Homo-oligomer: A and B are copies of this chain.
Amino acid sequence: MGAMVTRAESAALTRRALLDAAAELLDLGGPEAVTLREVGARAGVTRGAPYRHFMGKDSLLDAVATESWERIGDQMHALRADPALPASEKLRGALRALIGAGRDQPYRYQLLFKRPGHGPGERGEGIDRVMRQLCGPEGDPAAAVRASMRFQDEFLAVVAAFVGERNARHYGALLLAGAHGIADMELSGHLSEDTWRTTADELVDTLVRLVGDTGETA
């Protein structure tokens, strides 16, 4: 079989390999472990090659975060579209999905809620970098924002089906913040069952119950 030959296909393959390698290294040892040299090596290229596809390490990680948001957004969409589940179960599933994502890939999860960097790149402004910025590879931080907004919309729809359109946004924010707080505290070791005598699942149930009791009637 004639394998990839066209340059565009080859580049697309490399790009994908770079993203996969970055995500894998991220899962293994966090952002510090994501080395452009190692990413390149795992993708079968050398250290400088990633700069042909991303503006730098930060942009590469941004792209990983974007794909993570898209995946979680897809999960939300699937949950919302499932006709077999009642609204309360959809909401519970949504919250559990978020917490589960944190458990499965902690570093990738934390990347989702990373503080956005100040501007595109904080290093020097070489001629090559300017060229890349203008017409070069992707370096669009807004992509992650768009993907996260898609997730938020799906999540919001799940909430609205439970508490109604009127209070959906307020309670949606509360529920999302609650789930994220649970996930993040669990990851950082601050939700020790020994201290709080409860579990993430119980907290999710309580959260949904509290919102359901007063949210629906409000």
Contact = CB atoms under 8 A, between A and B. Distances in A.
Interface of A: 30, 106-107, 110, 113-116, 145, 148-149, 152, 169-174, 176-182, 184-185, 187-191, 195-198, 202-203, 206-207, 209-211, 213-214
Given A115-B110, A149-B195, A181 B188 contact: no
Copies in the complex: 2
Contacts of A169: 195-198
B148 A173 contact: no
Given A113-B185, A169-B197, A181-B181, 17 more contacts: A30-B115, A106-B115, A149-B195, A152-B195, A169-B198, A170-B196, A170-B197, A170-B202, A170-B206, A173-B185, A173-B203, A174-B206, A177-B182, A177-B185, A177-B191, A180-B184, A180-B190
Contact of A179 (B181, B187, B198): B181
Contacts of A115: 30, 106-107, 110, 187-189
Given A190-B113, A214-B213, A174 B106 contact: no
